[in-house]
Amino acid sequence: MQPGFFDVLKWKFASNRYAAAKKKKIRLKVIETRVEEIVSRGDSITYLGHATLWLRLAGCSILTDPVFGDIWPNIKRNTPFPFPAGALPPADIVLISHDHFDHLDRKSIRRLGTLPVYLVPLGYRDWFERVVPGATVLELDWLDTTVQKGIQFRLLPAQHWTRRNLIDSNRRLWGSWMIDTGSRRIFFCGDSGYFRGFGEFGEKYGPFDAAILPIAMNEPRWFMQAMHMDTAEAIQVFRQLGAKVLIPEQWGTFDLTDELLDLPPKVYREEARKAGLTETEAPLIPHGGTWYFPGNE
């Protein structure tokens, strides 16, 4: 679902109804993450910003799409990373959903080094060999599984695309991840437009204890719809997966699309209310905030 060149030009040169409001600095809440407390309280999900989440599952430390700083000199991180420099606990597993720069960051991967096992879609091994020589990198096709640290990881299809330069469009695969500890099942979306596959995932692999789904990066809809679900669609996916809890991702960190940084949380709360979801089912976790699985809190 890669956008066409002229569609990109149309978007970039079109007027943005939020342009004036974007001139004002927006500050969002950041919670100082206390590593020792999180580790001591059992299984949890911590929102670190954008698509970077820290999962503690069955004693295993898992990072998704790690981006710790700015994407480019001209694309700054608007909300600080919740950890002080060097305080992030070592990761056992790193999950990559796709190769876009806001999901696969060279500096962050180099910082993580060779300690984690990197689980990636097809086509990423050469990139990792250049960036972190000697790292353990396992490539998966859609529906493939691997077991690491006693946890099953399955790569699932997503409606998106890949590209890191002008000549490598869709040479690498993309996807979402299912994480199954045996007692808990989590869905991590990354980026995706809404498609019928979510219903199939729920029927075949559900129910899920938690679904990590994007609620931002989705305006203007005429341009983003095919590759980025909106909040109402995220709630629909949550229900189709049979999930108990919706964990929002991709909001409030980078200003990459038309909407204001603080708009997605407002839309999320309103859409959750209209859908009849409780705060227990649809919490809004601030940057650095942690959600604990029932029985751990």
pLDDT tens by residue, 248-287 = 999 999 998 878 899 999 999 999 999 999 999 999 999 9
Strand order across the beta sheet in which 52-57 lies: 136-140, 117-121, 93-95, 60-64, 52-57, 44-49, 290-292
Alpha-carbon dihedral sign for residues 70, 39, 147, 210: negative
Kindly list the distances between the CA atom of residue 206 and the CA atoms of 132, 153, 186, 191, 198, in Å, as whole numbers in the listed order: 35, 14, 9, 20, 10
User: In this predicted model, what pLDDT tens digit does every residue of 36-65 receive, in sequence order?
Assistant: 889 889 999 999 999 999 999 999 999 999
Tokens of 211: 């679904």
* Integer Cα distance of 277 and 49 in angstroms: 23
pLDDT at 9: 57
pLDDT value at 12 more than 80: no
Say which CATH superfamily domain 32-292 falls into.
Ribonuclease Z/Hydroxyacylglutathione hydrolase-like (3.60.15.10)
Which range is least confidently modeled, 87-96, 143-152, 212-221, 278-287?
212-221
- pTM, 2 dp: 0.93
What's the average model confidence in pLDDT over 88-101?
Answer: 95
Q: Which residues pair with 151 in a beta bridge?
A: 148
**Is the Cβ–Cβ distance between 268 and 231 less than 8 Å?**
yes
Q: For residue 90, give both structure tokens.
A: 């070592």
Asked if 104 and 155 touch (Cβ cutoff 8 Å), the reply is no
Q: Does pLDDT of 10 surpass 60?
A: no
The pair of three-digit structure tokens given for residue 219, joined into one six-digit string:
């305006």
Q: Please provide the distance, in angstroms rounded to a whole number, between the alpha carbons at the two ends of the chain.
A: 40
Distance from C-alpha of 59 to C-alpha of 111, rounded to nearest angstrom? 22
Q: How confident is the model at residue 69 (pLDDT cuts 50, 70, 90)?
A: very high
Whether pLDDT at 15 is above 70: no
**Averaged pLDDT for residues 164-178:** 91
Q: How large is the average pLDDT for residues 216-235? A: 85
Q: CB of 272 within 8 A of CB of 235?
A: yes
Residue ranges per domain, the chain?
32-292
